[in-house]
Structure 1
Amino acid sequence: MQSLVIDQIGHTEFRDIEAPVPGPGEVLLDVHNVGLCGSDLNTFNGLNPLVELPRIPGHEIGGVIAAVGPDVPAEFTIGQSAIVIPYTTCGTCPSCRQGRVNACQFNKTLGVQQDGGLCRQIVLKTDQLILNNTLPPTHMALVEPLSVGFHAVSRGRVGATDTVLVLGGGMIGVGAILGALAQGAKVIVSEVSHLKADTLATLGVDAVINPTRTDLTSEIDRLTNGAGADVIIEAVGLPATFRVAIDLAPFSGRVVYVGYAKAEVSYDTKFFNLKELDIMGSRNATRTDFEAVIAYLAQHTPIGERLISKTFTWADADQALRYWTDHRDEIFKIMIDMRVTA
């Protein structure tokens, strides 16, 4: 069976691997669409400390059930379309015992700590699948990244009376934007890429600010009449934006970090106390977040189409990560269509 492997930094190749067979409680999924994630790009560029090479990337997956193993619930039938929840849970760590399984201490995400979905077929446990026959096939692979942003909104306790500032307009930031809008909040976006700004502006946000061209603090003050944004969601993952989130947060504000910096971050911690900030991390997403995104995309199909920047066929999939590296400022989502071979 053919797979695509990141075998060394800056290089991918097709490799034949053994075809998987489902065991008890497992299904065999024909992979139809895979979205490439920032973690895949970081792996390709040697910037993902969680990955050991070689690795089959890809955890944003939609497909169709091809076979089922023993003891599988009756609703999991051959031919059913399904969306993949790419995380694992141990059931015993502190997070799992609290029901926060998305933050499992021993999670092994597909394409990161274990091989992912850029292969013809993959075996999964039934609790890693959400059956769905309504979304377009390509949109199934949009659900996971948008769910991560929806989860950040949940962590920030965003409500209809809030103003939310999202730092970063990539796919995770877009998920946070859409999740906040779904709660009725006012949303402001900070994004340095002018190539993404037009699309971001069509999502229903109040403003898109380029902080390299406009003073972000002054513009936030103007847009909020000096009150500031109630919730700051950091979706960039740079030390500078980690600090900016604290600087821009108002007194009694909420800060959610969904990006993570690859270098140490230094703070003037007096603002933690003086402002009495709620500072939260956000990791992965829950099944509830997935279901919320599925419902959102079902009602807003054109948005899903606008977020797919480029589609590669399976035959050309080995070119996709290099293309993204060379066109990073204009890409929301690169999709691999496994159904198209040439």
Structure 2
Amino acid sequence: MKALVCDEPGRLSLVDRQRPVRAEGEILVRIRHVGICGTDFHIFAGKHPFLDYPRVMGHELSGTVEDGGDSPLAAGTPVYVVPYLACGTCAACRKGLTNACMAIRVLGVHTDGGMAEYLSVPATNVIPAAGIDLRDAAMIEFLAIGAHGIARGQVSDGDRVLVTGSGPIGMSAALFAKARGAHVTVMDMREDRLAFARDTLGADAVLLAGPDAEAQAADLTGGNGFDVVVDATGAAPPIERGFGFLAHGARYVLLSVVKGTITFSDPEFHKREATLLASRNALPADFAEVVRQMQAGRIPTTALNTHRGALADAPALLPDWSRPEAGVVKAILDV
């Protein structure tokens, strides 16, 4: 089979590999589409802290069942793949927090992923993509991350929500906050992303992340701040700045993670009686929520999927797509 390997930072190779053999309890999936994530770009650039090279990337996956073994999924069934391989026995897994498994392995990061023609994964990680186009199904995972963050923030009807960072994950958070009836403001440094959030995603307001953002936010909220702030910037300075947008009693959800330390004013945090929440990966309920919203036609999948290409062309495409001026929201490889 063909597989795309990141041999080392900055170097990709399309290689021939042995087709995987389905193990007991696994399903062999014929991969059809792979969404490209910021994680993949970080791996390509050599910026991912938890990765050994060479690595087959790819964790946003859809395909068809090639060999279902003893599972109820027949050959040819359209499916998507949950890429988090949890141990099932650690303290987190026993609590149902498989997204935070103490020994988690993520496809395409800790172990080889789906930028290949076939992949064999545990049957519990293969879910029927009922009534969803397979190309759209390759976007379920990144959307589930945003849905999980919004669930963590307990966003409800009428909440004033600020999403900082309007990359794909921030866009997902905005979509699922809107789905819960929130009034959503999106803040970013890029005016093109803000226009997309407003015109395509239905954001109620947008803020340019300039020196006047705090004053403008005060105008938007009557000086009260936001009930929920969701960070999807992936950088420490905007995460720290985000504390200043919190209303009294607010929740602050960190969707992005940074390597290092973040600091904030404890007196300001305490006087607001604010809540700080980490949000990691997604749970089965979040994937199911994405599927429901897709089936209801509430996710603008065509607009989100801005770039497409073939797996065979990926060594040339990925370096180009990684440039900000390429304007990628979500790129998908067809396998």
Contact 2:314 2:333 in 1 (8 A): yes
Q: Does structure 1 retain, via aligned residues, the 8 Å contact 2:4–2:311?
A: no
CA offset digits 1:65-121 (Å, max 9, x no partner):
01122xx232x1001000110001112222112111111111100001111000000
Query: Alpha-carbon deviations, 1:134-175, whole Å to 9, x = none?
Result: 111210011000100000000000000211100011111111
Residue deviations 1:290-321, cap 9 Å, x none?
11111112222671000011101122111232
Q: Identity percentage over the alignment? A: 32
So what's the TM-score if we normalise by structure 1? 0.94
Q: Take 2:48 and 2:87, find their aligned partners in 1: how far apart are those partners?
A: 23
* SS of equivalent to 1:179: helix
Measured at CA, do residues 302 and 290 of structure 1 come closer, stay the same or move farther in structure 2, by a change above 3 Å?
closer
Aligned mates of 2:125, 2:258 — CA distance in 1: 28
The 8 Å contact of residues 26 and 122 in structure 2, kept in 1 or not, is answered as yes
Shift of 1:280: 0.4
Could you list the runs of 5+ residues in structure 2 that have no partner in the other structure? Answer: none
Q: What per-residue deviation string (whole Å, max 9, x for no partner) do you get for residues 169-201 of structure 1? A: 111111111111111111000021222222211
Deviates more, 1:170-179 or 1:322-331: 322-331
In structure 2, the residue matched to 1:9 is 9
- Residue 205, structure 1, aligned to residue 219, structure 2: no
In structure 2, the residue matched to 1:78 is 75
Unpaired segments of 5 or more residues in structure 1? Answer: none
TM superposition shift of 1:227: 1.7
Match in the other structure for 1:62: 62
Match of 1:314, as an amino acid?
L
Aligned residues, how many?
334
Aligned position for 2:146: 149
* Secondary structure at the counterpart of residue 178 of structure 1: helix
Q: Which residue of 1 aligns with 2:32?
A: 32
Residue in 2 that maps onto 1:265:
262
CA contact (8 A) 1:237 1:262 kept: no
Q: CA RMSD in A?
A: 1.4
Deviates more, 1:263-272 or 1:178-187: 263-272
1:97 corresponding residue in structure 2:
94
Residue pair 2:60, 2:83 contacting (<8 A) in 1 also: yes
The aligned amino acid for 2:302 is: E
Q: Aligned equivalents of 2:266 and 2:223: distance in 1?
A: 23
Equivalents in 2 of 1:73, 1:119: separation in Å?
22
Query: Structure 1 runs of 4+ off > 4 angstroms?
Result: none
1:78 maps to a residue whose letter is: A
Contact 2:4 2:15 survives alignment (8 Å):
yes
Instruction: Provide the residue aligned with 1:194 in structure 2.
Output: 191
- Match of residue 171, structure 2, among 166, 171, 174: 174
Report the structure, 1 or 2, having the larger strand content.
2
Moved more, 41-50 or 129-138: 129-138
